Structure 1
Amino acid sequence: MDRTPGPKPRRSAPRGSYAVGDERRARILDTAVEHFAQWGFHASSLARIAKEVGITQGGLLHHFRGKEDLLVSVLRHSEEQDRERFFSREPRSAAEAFTVLLDLAAHNAARRGRTMMFNTLAAEAGDPGHPAHDHFVRRYREVIDYATVPLRAAVERGELAPDTDCEAVATETVAIMDGLQLQWALAPETYDMVGRLRTYFDRLLRSLTTDGSGMPERP
């Protein structure tokens, strides 16, 4: 009988080590959000982020290749969460599309750090050389497209006036959302971003719908 020992089984890393790594990565992302919000990309420091997390800069670089990789990871993580939560299904009406955007605004108001980061980085990313430039160009295109499609469908159903410029309405809607969000960020305790946005959406819908209806009442 052949008793030659076979290859030793490969040892896998303890399951606990994966959990620790995932938890540390999440803490790095959360801390980076606050730093990018306060100082922007260029003035933020990997050393300061690592120190706040409680690890060395080398430990941070074990999870992210550098500051640009960290920035892209932060933006991608936030975008994936928003896409899954708000944009995973097609709205059945123009009013429902605006309701989804209103829910997104309410969600942003509840996560001030990420919203402040978005405002800071969106302003910086106007520079084509900024590492987040392409991300924001693509993001705005996707959000405008998301808002345009249900508006065009509503025109075809006769819900909206036939001469509605759907892409123009979508573009202006996104601009209003960001403008109100910027004003809210300056004085969040005294500024009702969601309420003002709802009033705008209601007025906009009443000007576009063939029956003059506006935003539905919230339950």
Structure 2
Amino acid sequence: MRPTAEPRRPVGRPPRTTLDDILDAAVGLFGARGIRGTSIAAVADRVGLTDAGLLHHFPTKNALIAAVLERATTRQQDQLASLIEPGGLTAISALGGWGSVVEADPDLTAFSIVLSTEGLLEDSPFHDWEQRRYHSIHKLGVALINDGIANGEIRPDIDPDQEARAMVAFLDGIRLQWFYTDKTLPLADTIQQYFDQIVERLAAD
């Protein structure tokens, strides 16, 4: 009786785990389990590395978190830049497309929600980052409205500060609703309708 042949091993090296693979895994786990509830071991297991293998790329959990935040910030800034480039009322109208951007990356959206929640605590390592995020978005809204008033697109009686606060409140709130409806809320359509209504209300006669 001939012995059973052993399965052939694949030729060559196994696929290499990239930094993007690790960051993608971290974002997914942070969004599902929370940042405090996700260990280095869990991220390593998700990408098929040992703890030591992951720590070779990111020596601490805080270093991994910092890399995730940096990449998320860069992506969001790049996505926003293409929408707001025209400035004024045209840019505010274009922000209606932000919902499609958010829906396209649900893991990053869930991570952002978890981050904003954990950042509420003053002793959280994300507290300052979340404060800067809020002030940055609010400042952007004020600048776009002021720009529209200056070029005659937006009514001069509009309060830029109040309108910007309302925009931030809506965008943060609608993400929470999307999250708590198990991501079934039509985020893209809802955000588009909201900004269409803003444009109609702000536009100068």
TM-score by length of 1: 0.80
Q: Residues 189, 59 of structure 1: CA spacing in aligned structure 2 closer, same or farther, 3 A cutoff?
A: closer
| Alpha-carbon separation, structure 2, partners of 1:127 and 1:24 | 33
1:134-180: CA deviations, max 9, x gaps? 11111121122222212101111222121211122112101101111
Q: Do residues 31 (structure 1) and 36 (structure 2) align?
A: no
Note the 1:157-176 alignment, pairs <5 A: 157-176=151-170
| Alpha-carbon separation, structure 2, partners of 1:111 and 1:175 | 21
* 1:84 partner SS: helix
Q: Output the amino acid matched with 1:97.
A: I
* 1:41 partner SS: coil
Q: Do residues 92 (structure 1) and 87 (structure 2) align?
A: yes
Contact 2:142 2:164 (C-alpha < 8 Å) held by counterparts: yes
Following TM superposition, by how much is the alpha carbon of 1:189 offset from its aligned partner in structure 2, in angstroms? 5.7
What 5-or-longer segments of structure 2 have no aligned partner? 1-14
| Alpha-carbon separation, structure 1, partners of 2:92 and 2:120 | 28
1:35-79: CA deviations, max 9, x gaps? 111111111111111112111111111111211221121111011
Structure 1 runs (4+) deviating above 3 angstroms are none
Higher RCO, 1 vs 2 (CA within 8 Å, ≥6 residues apart): 2
| Alpha-carbon separation, structure 2, partners of 1:165 and 1:52 | 48
Q: Residues 200, 39 of structure 1: CA spacing in aligned structure 2 closer, same or farther, 3 A cutoff?
A: same
Contact 1:91 1:97 (C-alpha < 8 Å) held by counterparts: no
Contact 1:71 1:132 (C-alpha < 8 Å) held by counterparts: no
Note the 1:53-202 alignment, pairs <5 A: 53-87=47-81, 90-99=85-94, 101-187=95-181, 190-202=184-196
* 1:82 partner SS: helix
TM-score by length of 2: 0.85
Contact 2:88 2:145 (C-alpha < 8 Å) held by counterparts: yes
What 5-or-longer segments of structure 1 have no aligned partner? 1-18, 212-219
Contact 2:96 2:192 (C-alpha < 8 Å) held by counterparts: yes
CA RMSD of aligned residues (A): 1.9
Following TM superposition, by how much is the alpha carbon of 1:111 offset from its aligned partner in structure 2, in angstroms? 1.0
Q: Residues 47, 189 of structure 1: CA spacing in aligned structure 2 closer, same or farther, 3 A cutoff?
A: closer
| Alpha-carbon separation, structure 1, partners of 2:203 and 2:165 | 18
Following TM superposition, by how much is the alpha carbon of 1:113 offset from its aligned partner in structure 2, in angstroms? 0.9
Fraction of identical pairs, as percent: 29
Following TM superposition, by how much is the alpha carbon of 1:199 offset from its aligned partner in structure 2, in angstroms? 1.8
| Alpha-carbon separation, structure 2, partners of 1:116 and 1:137 | 18
| Aligned pairs, number | 190
Contact 1:121 1:132 (C-alpha < 8 Å) held by counterparts: yes
